[in-house]
Structure 1
């Protein structure tokens, strides 16, 4: 059986947007949708059993309403619901071990106005063993309809042909294929180290063109296996002489999904992300997929 799509809900509008996105992902993948609501017990707090039961009842009612709403709009969707007593981030990361994709809102009910990404979303993106899609308040066209209705959709993939991340590339190509979207592969690059030595005062146009041609060929060669695997995906490669985070944010202004890789690292349990992933999560206006890899 293929693994389900997992989504965390907490009653917030952002969680509702994430649930919408997760439902479409489950429908298109042909897998169940698993809803998770966490009602954590505060460490050291003395809470009457009646209050704990009331919290679980509130969570159960929220799950029931969400299931009814999603099934009403997606009659073929198979929905499961789960309650947990752990903290939301801990519960999501644990449940993600049995999921093919985790979807969460950029922020939930906590935090403060103006906060771009909440602590739960950051920890989930850093520590979940499966790909994580974080959804802003306005999730984009992927959550509003099927692929036939949105053939103009765009997926942006952050990529480095010198250190290719196969997991991120495969996720991006698969997402573009599933959603009938175009794929824009972005590689940030810089002049070779020898070009900025004290012996070279000016970079000529000929040198720049030669280096850029080499990078274009390398990118094309590295992407070829995925283009052959997903022949229906329209792919455009783009080299940008910018910092990787700036290049991705510029390219994703009109995107429906931005895909970045994240090295699977034991320190991720502390909620750490690389600087590029951290930057795009805080500044991107579209959903961001963070894909773990072992390289």
Structure 2
């Protein structure tokens, strides 16, 4: 596979923030950047684009502005722009076959209400063949904000941690590979979290199980987590790792832990068919509520 980071843009603030994030990541990976503005074939879907020629001009303008901005900010980066025609989610999914990373924007709603992933991002995440990163924007100039945050991270030695949630009941090799490599590349601490909220049949509700019993169960899970992570500790001795099993709902645990992180990493099972956009409850919660970029990694 070629070393290519692909970002989908549509002229919104969210896609501008995603483009800047993708460019910086491409630089870090020593990869090229592919910028896609997918032109929907049926112009009737957008009343403002009543003629095919107008649609083409609009797509070219959006792409030209984005690639021009990126060229100014990242002069050493190889940037290629394309305006394919089709359904945006399907096109992005197809391009993910030949990309090492796909980046899209995520729209903010309210601090408490979460974030709108959208009709393009959600199916792209569900069906992509490579990891997908969702980047959100909080009003104002998304390009300047993303750029200033990236610069701040460099000045601080890229100190913001990488957080990854793992389920020790299922294979997580691909997820750990991505998380450790990201932490190594960005020189960040890696926080590995396994959340476990005891179901009612353990006696946690309505009557709590004895405290020592809960501690024993968590200790068993912590030991399994440590055993699972050890091969990657050996492979990446330079990465500082904090691995914990915590008695808390996984989605809530990850959202809280990632508040000051640079990236939240979650997994989703690879789909065996092309229908629907289900990504699993933890990935779904992270995509909608995390305030930092979220990487969703497909795995077996």
Same fold (TM over 0.5): yes
User: 1:268–1:257: structure 2 CA closer, same or farther, 3 Å change rule?
Assistant: farther
User: For residues 114 and 203 of structure 1, what CA distance do their matches in structure 2 show?
Assistant: 33
- Report the counterpart of residue 263 of structure 1 in structure 2: 269
Superposed counterparts of 1:169-180, under 5 Å = 169-180=176-187
User: For residues 202 and 187 of structure 1, what CA distance do their matches in structure 2 show?
Assistant: 21
User: What secondary structure, in the 3-state scheme, does the structure 2 residue paired with 1:76 have?
Assistant: coil
User: What secondary structure, in the 3-state scheme, does the structure 2 residue paired with 1:33 have?
Assistant: strand
Q: TM-score with structure 2 length normalisation?
A: 0.86
Give unpaired runs (5+ residues) of structure 2: 139-144
Give unpaired runs (5+ residues) of structure 1: none
Q: TM-score with structure 1 length normalisation?
A: 0.87
What is the CA-CA distance between 1:107 and the residue it aligns to?
A: 3.5
**Are 1:4 and 1:34, in contact at CA under 8 Å, matched by a contact in 2?**
yes
**Segment drifting more, 208-217 vs 154-163:** 208-217
Superposed counterparts of 1:1-295, under 5 Å = 2-42=2-42, 51-107=51-107, 116-138=116-138, 144-145=150-151, 148-150=154-156, 151-191=158-198, 195-196=202-203, 203-267=209-273, 269-294=275-300
**Are 2:195 and 2:245, in contact at CA under 8 Å, matched by a contact in 1?**
yes
User: What secondary structure, in the 3-state scheme, does the structure 2 residue paired with 1:39 have?
Assistant: coil
**Are 2:17 and 2:146, in contact at CA under 8 Å, matched by a contact in 1?**
no
User: What secondary structure, in the 3-state scheme, does the structure 2 residue paired with 1:236 have?
Assistant: strand
Across the aligned residues of Structure 1 and Structure 2, the Cα RMSD in angstroms comes to: 3.0
User: For residues 18 and 121 of structure 2, what CA distance do their matches in structure 1 show?
Assistant: 11
Report the count of equivalent residues: 287
**Segment drifting more, 135-144 vs 82-91:** 135-144
User: 1:140–1:240: structure 2 CA closer, same or farther, 3 Å change rule?
Assistant: farther
User: 1:228–1:54: structure 2 CA closer, same or farther, 3 Å change rule?
Assistant: same
User: For residues 114 and 248 of structure 2, what CA distance do their matches in structure 1 show?
Assistant: 27
